[in-house]
Amino acid sequence: MTNTLDRRTLLRVAGASAGTAVLAGATLAGPAQAAGGAFRHGVASGDPLPDGVLLWTRLTPTEESQPGSGVGPDVTVTWQVATDPDFGSVSAQGTLVTGPARDHTVKVAVSGLAAATTYWFRFGYAGAWSPTGRTMTAPPADAEIDRLRLGVVSCSNWEAGYFAAYRHLAERGDLNLVVHLGDYVYEYGTGEFAAGDTVVRPVRPAHETLTLQDYRIRHALYKSDPDLQALHAAVPWAITWDDHEVANDQWSGGAENHTPGTEGSFTDRVAAARQAYAEWMPVRTGADGAIYRRLRFGRLADLSMLDLRTYRSQQASGVAVDDPRRTITGEAQMAWLKAGLASSDARWKLVGNPVMISRLDVGALPAWLLGPLGTLLGIPQNGAALNTDQWDGYNADRNQLVDHLRANGTKDVVFLTGDIHTSWANEVTTRSTGFADPAAAEFVVPSVTSDNVNDFLGLPAGNALSALGAGLIRSTNPHVRWAELDGHGYGVLEVTRQRCRMDWYHLADRTRAATGSRWVAGWSVGAGSARLRRESAPLV
């Protein structure tokens, strides 16, 4: 059974006389396939290129072929890509063999497609078709693009609520890409990290994920969510991981939520988590499994997706956060990032950044303002950090990147950030910029469902303590232009030649599947500047 789709173009290139590529919208509608069918986990696409896109699904050929079971037959799956939702004009097709060795997942890197074109895709097995997905290729690298709109999300914890944020994004009809900044799945056992003390819907497996079977089952559970399926079927995604795809506060050699004595080898756990991730996610990885990569949308925007877990040093505190031997990116990724930002001829250099890069000083002025007294007091160069799991714990890397931007005159850099479950609009400053000359902008989106400040306090959203906390953060950190600590939801980023703008939308109640959402704020940065401006009305 296929979805019903309208026929408006999601991405089209205007005629040669117009000289620009225009990104337009469409709406996906129709029921998902019944839970008992062969394609129970939906379809997805990701990492669009000018001549291709990555397609994904998961097949259940027999009832014994359940996710993580490791059993079931090897089978041949058909895939098709067409320029119309009825598949009257098939542009590409083929077959792929899948089986228990890859958990019956299917991932196809389709090439030879036309640039800046909307396509529909589906998979077939035993005379039945999957739900229909819609995707698009990127425009040519040198195309002049008028507009790009992205949905931006992070931190989707199954037990803490429903994925209504995904539903609202799927219903918009004006998005060209969804950027997920990590914590797509969570590793905890049931009741270990829920909605406050309430488990809205229990996870499978019920215990913490440790093995390949565990991670496969957990990914399958998430992919069973109808709102997640709808958004994956509506628009391509660009995804990176954060820590919970393996374990909380992961670093290159371990994690806060991993105990080798009772939970086995951390290396084995990472390998299991990464294999399941590669199987279940529509994401391209390098030959060595590297996930950091860059997508381009004509001359309007480059999007660099970072991996801030695989190569990082262990978290530290105090003046150790200044140690230049410690890194959050790793040497190779930092060199790749700096070179890509400096050489880009795109108007906007977007960075998919799993953890916040802006300073968050708490209880002290930065040492670079205090001078020698700061050194005597043992205050780190960029202030006493609240969360050293962010870039605040890796000052040398942040300083190196910001200094590189300034030395090369690289402007129009915007970091898109998740992880901390709250909403922020920041100007990126370090000791080399001072407060007067920020090097970049940063937009931080809230969690889809994961607990934030009022949830931890056991208070309603918008309570006085949360408001006081946000005010204190802004007063201590003038580069933080706006912060909201209670809302769950998503962001919508609009990119034009003149500005880059984020709008934040918060859910009424994450514990209700049918909950509504509302616009809460919009902030923008103009081309050539890193100064933020507040917007008075939502995007239209």
pLDDT in tens, 290-315: 999 999 999 999 999 999 999 999 99
Q: How far apart are CA 334 and CA 40, in angstroms?
A: 39
What does the pLDDT average to over 364-371? 56
The amino acid at 129: W
Q: Given this model, what pLDDT does residue 137 score? A: 98
**C-alpha dihedral, 525 to 531 to 537 to 538, nearest 10°:** 40
Q: Given this model, what pLDDT does residue 94 score? A: 98
> In sequence order, what are the residues at sequence separation of 6 or more whose Cβ sits closer than 8 angstroms to the Cβ of residue 169?
151, 153, 175, 178, 231, 234, 490, 492
| 3 state DSSP class of 28 | strand
Q: Given this model, what pLDDT does residue 4 score? A: 27
Most distant CA pair in the chain, distance: 75
Higher pLDDT, 363 or 460: 460
Q: How far apart are CA 412 and CA 499, in angstroms?
A: 9
Which of the four CATH numbers 3.40.50.920, 1.10.101.10, 2.60.40.380, 2.40.110.10 does domain 1-138 have?
A: 2.60.40.380
Q: Given this model, what pLDDT does residue 435 score? A: 86
With a cut of 90, say whether residue 396 has pLDDT above it: yes
With a cut of 80, say whether residue 348 has pLDDT above it: yes
Q: Given this model, what pLDDT does residue 379 score? A: 58
What does the pLDDT average to over 35-60? 95
Q: Given this model, what pLDDT does residue 20 score? A: 28
472-517 per-position pLDDT tens digit: 889 889 999 999 999 999 999 999 999 999 999 999 999 999 999 9
With a cut of 80, say whether residue 363 has pLDDT above it: no
With a cut of 50, say whether residue 21 has pLDDT above it: no
Q: How far apart are CA 427 and CA 86, in angstroms?
A: 47
Higher pLDDT, 106 or 455: 106
245-262 per-position pLDDT tens digit: 999 999 999 999 999 999
Query: Considering just the CA atoms, what is the radius of gyration of the chain in Å?
Result: 23
With a cut of 50, say whether residue 470 has pLDDT above it: yes
What does the pLDDT average to over 6-28? 29
pLDDT > 70: percent of the chain? 90
Q: Given this model, what pLDDT does residue 368 score? A: 56
Q: Which residues of 170-272 form beta strands (DSSP E)?
A: 177-180, 237-239
pLDDT > 90: percent of the chain? 81
The CATH number of the domain covering residues in 139-535: 3.60.21.70
Q: Give the domain ranges of the chain.
A: 1-138, 139-535
- Tell me the H-state helices in 416-491: 453-457, 464-476
Q: Residue 381's pLDDT band (boundaries 50, 70, 90)?
A: confident
With a cut of 60, say whether residue 80 has pLDDT above it: yes
Q: Do domains 1-138 and 139-535 have the same CATH topology?
A: no
Q: Match 């004006």 to its residue by tokens.
A: 174
The pTM is what?
Answer: 0.92
With a cut of 90, say whether residue 376 has pLDDT above it: no
What does the pLDDT average to over 322-338? 97
| 3 state DSSP class of 320 | helix
Q: How far apart are CA 540 and CA 389, in angstroms?
A: 36
How far is CA 315 from its chain centroid? 22
User: Average pLDDT over the chain, rounded to whole?
Assistant: 91
